[in-house]
A and B are shown apart, each in its own frame.
Chain A
Amino acid sequence: MLREWIVAIVMILGAAFMLIASIGLLRMPDLFSRMSATSKAATLGAGLVMLAAALYFSESGITLRVLAIIVFLLLTVPVAAHMIGRAAYFDGVPLWKGTLIDDLRGHYRTSDHQLVRDAAESPEFAIPEGEEGDDFFN
């Protein structure tokens, strides 16, 4: 009986984190803050719901499987988020208009996508500025 209550509490906590991640994805102003909202909260939420499954079944084989999923999520979600953010920066996805500083401006050479230390203002380093809504739906 007590175990079922613990399972329910952990599960609702995970579901709440996932709901918060979705609200952040919908309400945040630009791509990078949206990614900051989703990648962390959704990983924690999925991990908590999987943990609830491990507590509910409480068998060693299932617990091992759940741990494998959690470790895999913790390894892959940051890598995927970093690659998407990097590609979006090269794509010229606009930052939020309230952004104060862009530390990467002038540090990426656009010809070979390499990071260089000294900032340069030459056109070789200019990332093309995309405008909002350049895709097919609007």
Chain B
Amino acid sequence: MNIEVLYFLALAMISLGLVLAFIRLVRGPSLPDRVVAIDLVVALAIGIIASYAILFDQPAFLDVAIIIALISFLGTIAFAYYIERRV
């Protein structure tokens, strides 16, 4: 069996998780639910980037994962401040 099939299987599992997270993002029902869903989407994006880097032998993509992790942390903190000041 070709080993690349397993890499594609991992990519497909993460993509299915992305679909489920987007369902929660649309359904809500409250704003913190959506922020948690976006947080999970970012974690899944980091996984997709790492899988893509392995599959196509491109280690330069791992830098993108660093930047996405950094920006998502700042975004979550900003959303938390907004939700807490709103009430």
Interface residues of A (CB under 8 A from B): 4-5, 7-8, 11-12, 14-16, 18-19, 21-23, 25-26, 31, 34-35, 38-39, 42-43, 45-46, 49-50, 52-53, 56-57, 59, 62, 65-66, 68-69, 72-73, 76-77, 79-81, 83-88, 90-93, 113, 128, 130, 132-135, 137-138
Question: Which residue on B lies nearest to A70, using beta carbons?
Answer: B69
B83 contact from A5, A66, A87, Cβ within 8 A: A87
Q: Give the 10 A-B residue pairs with the shortest CB-CB distance, closest first.
A: A22-B17, A88-B32, A83-B80, A87-B83, A8-B6, A22-B20, A15-B10, A42-B43, A15-B13, A80-B76
Question: Are B69 and A38 neighbours in the complex by a CB distance under 8 Å?
Answer: no
Residues of B within 8 A of A21 (CB): 17, 40, 43
Please determine whether A49 and B10 come into contact, CB atoms closer than 8 angstroms.
yes
Chain B 26-52 interface residues, beta-carbon cutoff 8 Å to A = 26-37, 39-40, 43-44, 46-47, 50-51
Q: Which residues of A contact B63 (CB under 8 A)?
A: 65
Note all chain B residues with C-beta closer than 8 A to A46: 43, 46-47, 50
B54: min CB distance to chain A, Å: 5
A69–B24 touching, CB < 8 Å = no
Residues A19 and B14 in contact, CB atoms below 8 Å apart: yes
Q: Once bound together, how far apart are the Cα atoms of A99 and B13, in whole Å?
A: 32
